């Protein structure tokens, strides 16, 4: 689990750490997790990241998260498997899976 570095929005009032909504970001691709966490922090949220399902479960035990952004397909344990173990945690699944409607036809 990694606490994100802060990006501050210029001109916005600084919120005290205790006042911020805490969101967990879980993705086995570290760059994706870091990028999403930085975007959330830029918009005033506090974040923690985990890079696999086991660490995600530990994160929810250690921190009271308002929301867990959870990748579906990860090594070791899928996002669905993690969610089954976290019955009382609010979860928003995210994925890079391609769906048929999103495919661009090559010409």
pLDDT of residue 98: 65
Please check whether residue 24 is in contact with residue 56, taking contact to mean a CB–CB distance below 8 angstroms: yes
Is the pLDDT at 73 greater than 50, yes or no? yes
- Cα gap 72→4, rounded to integer Å: 21
Arithmetic mean of pLDDT, 48-76: 96
Domain 2-7+20-97 class?
alpha beta
Whether 38 and 4 have beta carbons less than 8 Å apart is answered as yes
Judged against a pLDDT cut of 50, whether residue 7 lies above it is answered with no
Using pLDDT thresholds of 50, 70 and 90, give the confidence band for residue 17: low
Q: What is the pLDDT of residues 30-59, one digit of tens each?
A: 999 999 999 999 999 999 999 999 999 999
Spell out the residues 6+ positions from residue 50 whose beta carbon is closer than 8 angstroms to its own: 1, 2, 24, 25, 26, 33, 56, 58, 59
């Amino acid at each position: 689990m990694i606490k994100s570095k802060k990006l501050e929005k210029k001109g916005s009032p600084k919120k005290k750490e205790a006042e911020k909504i805490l969101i967990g970001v879980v993705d086995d691709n570290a760059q994706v997790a870091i990028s999403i966490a930085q975007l959330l922090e830029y918009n005033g949220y506090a974040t923690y990241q985990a890079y696999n399902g086991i660490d995600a479960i530990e994160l929810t035990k250690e921190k009271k998260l308002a929301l867990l952004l959870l990748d579906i397909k990860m090594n070791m344990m899928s996002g669905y498997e993690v969610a089954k173990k976290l019955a009382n945690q609010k979860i928003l699944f995210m994925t890079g899976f391609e769906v048929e409607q999103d495919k661009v036809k090559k010409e």
